[in-house]
Amino acid sequence: MKRTLLPLSLAITALWALSQSAEILLFTAPFLKLRAALTILSGALALGWMTYSMLLALRPVWLEQWLGGLDKLFVEHKWAGIGSVLWVGLHWLIELSPRTLVAWGWVTLPPRAPRGARPPMDWWIALGRQLAEPAAWLIIGLGIVALLRFVPYSWFRKLHKLFPIAFLMGAYHSVLGFPGGVASSALGIAMLVLAIFGSGVAVMSLASLIGRQRRVAGSVTSVVEHANGVIDLQIKPTGKWPGHRTGQFALLTLNHREGPHPFTIASDWQAGANLRFTIKPLGDYTRKLAGSLKSGDPAQIEGPYGGFDFGSADEPQLWIAGGIGLAPFLARLESLAASGGARQPIVLFYSVRNEQEAIFPPDLSELCARAGVELRLRVESRDGRFAASEIGQGLSAAASVWFCGPAAWGNGLRKVLRQQYGLLATRFHQEVFEFR
């Protein structure tokens, strides 16, 4: 966020400051004049953050690579959306402030000119002002729903489709709400460009055009549910799959009513081969998969995405997997086994909750042996989770760390390895999935 949202906010604020008088910048202006200027600033920041959120929704390859993978892009999109809601809320409060402050007796407003003495307002400007309140209510309401984890994903996805509509309403209000002098300033021109770009993305989203160029049709060839609940799913692309690097993932659509979900590809890429996905039933959608899927069902694969690709094969590595976080490591193990084994020492720390989870995959020990990877398996219910000290003992100056598992564990481990073992921040790689 510091790399994008902070510079964006500073740039918008600087453009706003260029169009303001000294008394505004020094906060010595009369209340109504200061309130008008702050209304413009908060509205511009809200539009800027919303437009950046729309850009992230496009999932452009260059931005995904710059942020470190689509999982990081999803997190950025989430916080840009939350920030947008807060800016909209502040903008609305500033707009309403005169009534509230007068009611509290804090300010006294000059008498308004008689209605007939005011120049008539063009209908398109009046419409822009009328859209302000419903747009604010819609954005704030959708933001609250997005944060409520108990709302089923299927409902969240449907409601999320209203965000582009809210953006179009807000952009129309923003462009027509600028006073004449500001509209022709650098800030006004910048906001017009952002509104046009964001509106284009909103239309693409409503028409389901985002990601279309990276979608490939496929067919389910195998669905196996293991005793621990993990679903071993294999899909054969019937379109031209571009191939993927080990550790990457795809957005998988198995039910068009539910939409796409991100799943790590747990198999190495071989032309014409099936794509394998290992899925743990963690939510309302994944719990229903095993009973609703069968061989021959259509599927849609979008991708590949992600930057969790294990970097250079010429460096020692520590792999840490928690539960279903093993999936990207399975693909890498297949690749190493097929190429004659790892060239540098690799240790896989695999932590599972109980003995039942430890049975998947059944050939893990054999696969690690063929790949030249040392396996250390830990059953948490019996022996507890791997301590940071156990992992840090095997950390050399040239090693990189690759983590896929519970976010809290990864964040804590990163902190300890950096502070106590001198690991550089750029050498700790963590895959994070937060759709909400």
Asked if 126 and 201 sit in the same domain, the reply is yes
Q: pLDDT, tens digit, for every residue of 173-219?
A: 888 877 766 677 899 999 999 999 999 999 999 998 998 889 999 99
Whichever domain contains 142, its CATH number is 1.20.120
State residue 150's pLDDT score.
Answer: 74
Asked if 53 and 92 sit in the same domain, the reply is yes
Asked if 188 and 55 sit in the same domain, the reply is yes
- Tell me the C-alpha distance between 164 and 206, whole Å: 7
Q: Which two tokens stand for residue 286?
A: 């994944």
Whole-prediction pTM value? 0.81
* DSSP SS3 for 433: coil
Return the bridge partners of 322, or none: 351
Asked if 201 and 221 sit in the same domain, the reply is no
Q: Are the C-beta atoms of 244 and 303 separated by less than 8 Å?
A: yes
State residue 257's pLDDT score.
Answer: 66
Q: Are the C-beta atoms of 170 and 46 separated by less than 8 Å?
A: yes
In a domain, 328, yes or no: yes
**Within 10 Å of residue 150's Cβ, how many Cβ atoms?**
4
- Tell me the C-alpha distance between 107 and 34, whole Å: 13
State residue 181's pLDDT score.
Answer: 63
Q: Which of 102, 76, 83, 1 is nearest to 42 (CA)?
A: 83
- Tell me the C-alpha distance between 15 and 24, whole Å: 14
Cis peptide before 362 (omega within 30 of 0): no
Question: What does DSSP assign to residue 165?
Answer: H
Asked if 44 and 86 sit in the same domain, the reply is yes
Q: Which of 401, 364, 372 is nearest to 278 (CA)?
A: 364
Q: Are the C-beta atoms of 60 and 296 separated by less than 8 Å?
A: no
Q: Please state, in angstroms and as integers, the Cα–Cα distance from residue 169 to each residue in 136, 138, 174, following that order.
A: 9, 10, 9
In a domain, 115, yes or no: no
In a domain, 211, yes or no: no
Asked if 287 and 409 sit in the same domain, the reply is no
**Within 10 Å of residue 373's Cβ, how many Cβ atoms?**
21
φ, ψ (nearest 5 deg) of residue 154? -60, -40
C-alpha 225, offset from chain centre: 29
Q: Which two tokens stand for residue 299?
A: 């599927």
Q: What is the CA angle 73-207-9, rounded to 5?
A: 40
Query: Which of 144, 171, 206 lies at the terminal end of a domain, its last residue?
Result: 206
- Tell me the C-alpha distance between 390 and 420, whole Å: 12
φ, ψ (nearest 5 deg) of residue 113? -65, 145
State residue 401's pLDDT score.
Answer: 95
In a domain, 243, yes or no: yes
State residue 234's pLDDT score.
Answer: 94
Return the bridge partners of 237, or none: 218
Q: Are the C-beta atoms of 47 and 191 separated by less than 8 Å?
A: yes
Q: How many domains is the chain built from?
A: 3
Query: Which of 264, 279, 305 lies at the terminal end of a domain, its last residue?
Result: 305
State residue 180's pLDDT score.
Answer: 65
Those residues whose C-beta lies under 8 Å from the C-beta of residue 57, and which sit 6 or more positions away, are: 77, 201, 205, 210
* DSSP SS3 for 26: coil
Return the bridge partners of 234, or none: 222, 276
Q: Please state, in angstroms and as integers, the Cα–Cα distance from residue 420 to each residue in 339, 395, 402, 424, following that order.
A: 35, 11, 18, 11
Q: Are the C-beta atoms of 47 and 171 separated by less than 8 Å?
A: yes
Asked if 84 and 198 sit in the same domain, the reply is yes
Domain with 247, as residue range(s), is 216-305
Those residues whose C-beta lies under 8 Å from the C-beta of residue 18, and which sit 6 or more positions away, are: 185, 186, 187
State residue 136's pLDDT score.
Answer: 86
Taking phi first (over 0 means left), then psi (-120 to 50 degrees means alpha), and beta for anything else, what does residue 145 get?
A: alpha
- Tell me the C-alpha distance between 394 and 351, whole Å: 17
State residue 53's pLDDT score.
Answer: 95
Return the bridge partners of 217, or none: 300
φ, ψ (nearest 5 deg) of residue 410? -65, -45
- Residue ranges of the chain with per-residue pLDDT less than 70: 1-2, 97-125, 128, 180-182, 256-257, 271, 433-436
Query: Which of 171, 206, 241 lies at the terminal end of a domain, its last residue?
Result: 206
Question: What does DSSP assign to residue 106?
Answer: S
